[in-house]
Amino acid sequence: MYEKAIRLLEQRGIQLTRGLNQAELDRIREVYGIEFPEPLKVFFQSVLPMSDAFYDWRDFSESNISFLKELMESPLKKIYDWAGEVYWCDDWGDEPEDEAKRVAFIRGKIPDAPRLIPIYSHRYMPLCSLENYPVLSVHGVDVIYYGGNLEEYFNIEFGDQKQSSLDIAHIEYVPFWSDLM
């Protein structure tokens, strides 16, 4: 599985190391309080990309643990800090005219938002129960789909598929995050 993605990474000169073993996955669960979504887990059990803007899940040094925890907290912190810049989602009902109420409403949705697992640079996979896990690009309050699934994401990021070719109507809804798009 993920042979095409692995070939794309190799062609791009990305250093690939052996996949994560069960003991390492258990340690990740213990240290970070997460279990990778199944597609990401399967991929990381096959190979662990270690160069460019990938993250080292095998490094359990204090500095790397702090770095990865911050990466997982950063998207929600930025939404909280810049809530006034978030576009209102029609599914949320009528937009409050009062800016403070609008900001409070958006900030009130944050505790229920799925955490995001960093994959590469500012590309993330949501940590929630889905049938098909999309990959999101999150840069401040700018949130877009960057792949309907992990394989498609790698083809967009490292292959020849354009992000603009995504059929977003068929990408699975991610609570909160899809509302920001």
pLDDT tens, 3-23? 999 999 999 999 999 999 999
Token code pair at residue 60: 């359990």
| CA dist., res. 124 & res. 122, Å (int) | 6
Nearest to 149 by CA among 175, 172, 176: 172
pLDDT tens per residue across span 78-99: 999 999 999 999 999 999 999 9
End-to-end CA distance of the chain: 30
Distance CA 94, CA 72 (A): 31
Stretches in the chain below the pLDDT threshold 50: none
pLDDT attached to residue 152: 96
Distance CA 59, CA 24 (A): 10
pLDDT value at position 51? 84
This prediction has a pTM of 0.94
Q: With beta carbons less than 8 A apart as the criterion, state whether 80 and 113 touch.
A: no
Contact of 86 with 93, CB cutoff 8 Å: no
**Long-range pairs of 141-150 with CB within 8 A, sequence gap ≥ 24:** 141/78, 141/79, 141/82, 141/85, 141/86, 141/180, 143/177, 143/180, 143/181, 144/181, 145/171, 145/181, 148/172, 149/39, 150/2, 150/5, 150/39, 150/40, 150/43, 150/125
